[in-house]
Amino acid sequence: MIDPVHDAISAAVEDILEPLAKLAMEMQIGANDFVRLIEQAFIRAVEHDASAAGRPRPGASAIAARSGLTRQRVSQLRKVSPARKSRTAERQPQTLRILSAWKTDPKFLDRDGCPRILPIRGPLSFGTLVTRHTSGLRARSILKELERLKAVHYTKNGDVEMIHRADLDGERRARGIRELGEFGREFLETLTHNVLNPETPRYHRRVVGLHVKREEVPRLVRDASSQAGLWALALHDAITDSGVTVKAGTNDREATRLSGHFFVCEQPSVVARNSREKHSKSGKGRRIKGT
- 100 and 59 Cβ atoms separated by less than 8 Å: no
**Residue 185 predicted with pLDDT over 50:** yes
Average pLDDT over residues 173-183: 83
Domains in the chain: boundaries: 4-89, 93-164
Average pLDDT over residues 234-241: 90
d(CA 155, CA 161): 7
Q: Is residue 161 helix, strand or coil?
A: strand
> What element of type H or E holds 186?
helix 167-196
d(CA 183, CA 165): 27
Question: What is the dotted CATH code of the domain comprising 93-164?
Answer: 1.10.10
d(CA 212, CA 220): 10
> What element of type H or E holds 235?
helix 217-239
- 52 and 102 Cβ atoms separated by less than 8 Å: no
Average pLDDT over residues 152-163: 90
Query: Among residues 142, 115, 149, which one has the least CA distance to residue 127?
Result: 142
10 Å CB burial of residue 286 (0-12, 13-18, 19+) is: exposed
Q: What is the pLDDT of residues 69-124, one digit of tens each?
A: 999 999 999 987 555 444 443 445 678 788 888 988 888 988 888 889 999 999 89
Average pLDDT over residues 214-229: 92
- Beta bridge partners, 161, equal 153
